[in-house]
């Protein structure tokens, strides 16, 4: 049992409910926490197993089975990844506005499973002249399933931790690291198992195993149904965003100090709605900021508002509502400045794999490493890096910076962006060596020949990608969850995912521009004649410019501040200090009373409780800790 302040609804005569603080005792909910989150993590692991088992080797199927040119296949992969990462914006809107996260996950998982079954049929029993059309149809059915699953599953898992519970809040701070660890485990298993089956047993078997994993994921998700904390949809969050802009426009000439302003609407002055019109109906008050101050006009009370019997939400918005809209707007520049980062990451599924297919891949006399299997090195590295980051890096950084997480979310993302530049530099140098080796051995015009250089030369660039993921990807996940309004967190997850999608489209655009400028000489089918290293240098240069823009934006970013959290921390600090001073005062009082020594220099006895109380009050007042 624990005591807490509960909010009890009270109905007024006009049918509108408002809230009143009541002290109540209630049982700690048995739902949520790690007992629920572990089921959702397992579902995500199976889902990622299926996704990366397809994405990691898709370019090989397109070029080797469907006979597409390398550049065309790379563009098809980028387009599919892009669409799969854009659809989550729609899925998040549906989840937050209508279906709720749980129902959206359930529906999208079923769609994803049906798409994978169709894909398995497309590579096995569908006639050859229909195979390509059915294959691409199945791909985009999978993209629709991704649209509902991706933005909701991580947010739904994070929702299992109650931010008002200190224990759950601490657990959530490390949740994102372990969440990503689960994703990496599923992706690594896909690369090691599913892709091996595709290359050595058959495409139908490989895709069939992935379909089985999705069926298992759906069953696991349903097993934990009674453990989940579920949040009902709250209606379209875009409506309240639009209300702030409309109210701002209608009060363009009004200001706080003159022009008809009568103060700021905090959410309870004019009606009983309190914070019910804020995005997500959050009960936590966000501190007012000085950025985007033109939006503050939406919360200024003017003569028309005072004369109205009821508040018009399209004319007057609360401080919380305005600040939540500012949160969304502040994330837009961060979103834009990370698009180039995702252009680097998509090379993992396209040109990195084609590089590996031309290199010596034998281990022993019989075993050939599938070129896409090197992607498992990224996963295996992350499996090691995440615990090291959590248990070693964060405590050491915390001692230096004093920050609870060691470094800020934007610092973490910035390290990931910097590492992506190093990735492209290393990839360009290795590719130059591969081409040089091919030329020295007379293989420059033999695209099917294996260049006598070990595939393990690609190891450094794969390891650097894993560092990009640990810092950049996890940092983006945490930022777009933590800094979004509570009811828009599915959309925040979708916004983070869409970075990968839009970045894939940008990468397609870069390929088209490079091919146009170089007259299709850099990215030809014969990689020995191509200049893939030049393409990598172009990406490195663009990423360096992008990093400069990101640093400029990050320096001006203002993090969300919740007043209630700050006041609780201050109260705890004051209480601890006051208690310490009180105990010291008692100890001094006992000692001086025993010795019959006066506390004050005037020689008055310290035996009286009244005198000792006055001394203690003076001590607290001197430190600003007593207000009675």
In terms of Cβ atoms closer than 10 Å to its own Cβ (0-12, 13-18, 19+), residue 20 is: exposed
> Is 22 in contact with 7 (CB distance < 8 Å)?
yes
pLDDT of residue 176 exceeding 60, the answer is yes
Query: CA end-to-end span of the chain, whole Å?
Result: 31
Residue 135 pLDDT:
93
Burial class (CB in 10 A: 0-12, 13-18, 19+), 249: exposed
CB-CB contact of 425 with 535 (8 Å): no
- The tens digit of pLDDT for each residue in 416-461 reads 999 999 999 999 999 999 989 988 888 888 877 888 888 889 989 9
Neighbours of 167 (CB within 10 A): 11
The strand pair at 367-368 and 362-363 is best described as antiparallel
Q: pLDDT category, 587, cuts 50, 70, 90?
A: low
pLDDT band at 625 (very low <50, low <70, confident <90, very high): very low
Instruction: Map tokens 């198992």 to a residue.
Output: 193
**Whole-angstrom distance, CA of residue 159 vs CA of residue 143:** 25
**Dist. CA 415–CA 482, nearest whole Å:** 19
Whole-number Cα distances in Å, 256 to 263, 265, 293, 299, 312: 6, 11, 11, 9, 19
Q: Cβ distance 527 to 447 under 8 Å? A: yes
| pLDDT, position 24 | 38
Top pLDDT among 463 and 568 is at 463
Q: Is residue 195 over pLDDT 60?
A: yes
DSSP code at position 402 = -
DSSP state of 589: H
Determine the Cα–Cα distance for residues 352 and 362; give it in Å rounded to an integer.
18
pLDDT bracket for residue 540 (50, 70, 90): very high
The residues that bridge with 231 in the sheet, in sequence order, are: none
Return the half-sphere exposure (C-beta side, CA atoms, 13 A cut-off) of residue 477.
25
CA distance 405 to 529: 48
DSSP string covering 433-481, please?
HHHHHHHHTT-TT-TTSPEEEEGGGGHHHHHHHHHHIIIIIHHHHHHHH
pLDDT band at 598 (very low <50, low <70, confident <90, very high): very low
| 170: confidence class by pLDDT, cuts 50, 70, 90 | low
Does residue 462 contact residue 377 with C-beta atoms inside 8 Å?
Answer: yes
Q: Where are the alpha helices (DSSP H) in 224-361?
A: 237-250, 303-307, 319-337, 339-345, 351-357
Supply the Cα-derived Rg of the chain in whole angstroms: 30
pLDDT above 80: residue 586: no
Q: Measured on CA atoms in the order 389, 157, 24, 272, is the torsion positive or negative?
A: positive
- β-strands 451-454, 359-360 pairing: parallel
Rounded Cα gap, residues 497 and 150, in angstroms: 8
pLDDT at 212 over 70: yes
Residue 373 per-residue DSSP state: G
Enter the DSSP assignment of 530.
S
Q: How many CB atoms lie within 10 A of CB 407?
A: 19
Averaged pLDDT, 258-271: 64
Q: What CA–CA distances, in Å, run from 349 to 61, 211, 339?
A: 12, 21, 17
What mean pLDDT value characterizes the chain? 77
Instruction: State the alpha helices, DSSP H only, in 56-165.
Output: 58-64, 70-94, 101-122, 128-158
Helix-helix angle 128-158:489-517, to 10 degrees = 140
What pLDDT digit, counting tens, does each position of 271-304 carry?
Answer: 444 444 444 444 567 888 888 888 888 888 888 8
Over the stretch 498-513, which tens digit does the pLDDT of each residue have?
888 788 888 888 888 8
Does 116 have pLDDT greater than 90? Answer: yes
CB-based contact 77:59 (threshold 8 Å): yes
CA neighbor of 44 nearest in space, from 167, 206, 176: 176
| Integer Cα distance of 537 and 429 in angstroms | 9
Whether the pTM exceeds 0.75: the reply is no
């Amino acid at each position: 049992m624990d005591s807490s302040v509960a909010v009890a609804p009270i109905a007024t005569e006009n049918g509108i409910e408002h809230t009143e603080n009541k002290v109540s005792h209630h049982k700690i909910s048995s739902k949520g926490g790690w007992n629920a989150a572990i089921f959702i993590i397992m579902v995500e692991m199976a889902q990622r197993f299926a996704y990366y088992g397809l994405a990691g080797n898709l370019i090989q199927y397109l070029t080797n089975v469907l006979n597409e040119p390398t550049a065309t296949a790379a563009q098809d992969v980028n387009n599919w990844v892009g669409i799969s990462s854009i659809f989550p914006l729609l899925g998040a809107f549906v989840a937050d506005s209508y279906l709720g996260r749980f129902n959206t996950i359930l529906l999208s998982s079923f769609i994803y499973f049906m798409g994978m079954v169709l894909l398995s049929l497309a590579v096995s029993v569908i006639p050859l002249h229909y195979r390509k059309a059915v294959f691409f149809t199945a791909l985009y059915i999978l993209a629709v399933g991704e649209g509902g699953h991706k933005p909701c599953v991580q947010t739904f898992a994070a929702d299992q931790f109650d931010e008002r519970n200190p224990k759950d809040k601490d657990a959530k701070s490390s949740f994102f690291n372990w969440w990503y660890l689960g994703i990496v485990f599923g992706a690594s298993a896909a690369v090691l198992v599913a892709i091996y089956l595709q290359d050595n047993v058959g495409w139908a078997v490989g895709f069939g195993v992935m379909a089985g994993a999705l069926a298992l994921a759906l069953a696991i998700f349903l097993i934990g149904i009674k453990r989940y904390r579920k949040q009902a949809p709250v209606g379209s969050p875009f409506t309240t965003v639009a209300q702030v802009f409309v109210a701002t426009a209608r009060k363009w000439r009004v200001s706080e100090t003159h022009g008809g302003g009568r103060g700021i609407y905090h959410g309870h002055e004019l009606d009983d709605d309190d914070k019910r019109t804020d995005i997500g109906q959050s009960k936590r008050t966000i501190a007012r900021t000085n950025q985007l101050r033109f939006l503050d006009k939406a919360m200024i009370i003017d003569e028309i508002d005072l004369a109205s019997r009821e508040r018009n939400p399209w004319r007057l918005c609360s401080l919380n509502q305005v600040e939540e809209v500012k949160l969304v707007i502040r994330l837009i520049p961060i979103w834009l400045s990370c698009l180039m980062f995702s252009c680097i990451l998509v090379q993992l599924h396209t040109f990195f794999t084609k590089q590996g297919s031309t290199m010596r891949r034998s281990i022993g006399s019989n075993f050939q490493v599938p070129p896409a299997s090197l992607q498992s090195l990224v996963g295996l590295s992350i499996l090691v890096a995440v615990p090291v980051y959590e248990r070693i890096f964060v405590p050491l950084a915390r001692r230096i910076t004093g920050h609870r997480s060691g470094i800020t979310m934007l610092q973490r993302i910035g390290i990931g962006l910097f590492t992506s530049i190093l990735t492209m530099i290393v990839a360009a140098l290795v590719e130059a060596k591969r081409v040089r080796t091919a030329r020295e051995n007379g293989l420059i015009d033999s695209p099917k020949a294996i260049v006598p250089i070990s595939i393990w030369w690609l190891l450094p660039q794969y390891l650097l990608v894993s560092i990009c993921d640990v810092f950049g990807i996890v940092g983006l996940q945490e930022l777009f969850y933590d800094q979004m309004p509570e009811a828009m967190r599915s959309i925040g997850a979708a916004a983070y995912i869409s970075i990968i999608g839009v970045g894939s489209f940008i990468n397609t655009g870069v390929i088209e521009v490079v091919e146009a400028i170089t007259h299709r000489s850099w990215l030809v089918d014969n990689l020995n004649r191509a200049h893939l290293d030049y393409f990598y240098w172009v990406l490195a240069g663009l990423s360096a410019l992008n990093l400069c823009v990101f640093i400029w934006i990050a320096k001006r970013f203002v993090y969300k501040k919740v007043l209630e959290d700050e006041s609780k921390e201050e109260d705890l600090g004051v209480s601890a200090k006051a208690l310490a001073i009180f105990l010291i005062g008692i100890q001094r009082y006992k000692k001086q009373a025993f010795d019959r020594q006066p506390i004050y220099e005037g020689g008055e006895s310290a035996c009286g409780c009244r005198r000792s109380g006055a001394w203690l009050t003076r001590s607290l007042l001197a430190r600003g800790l007593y207000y009675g």
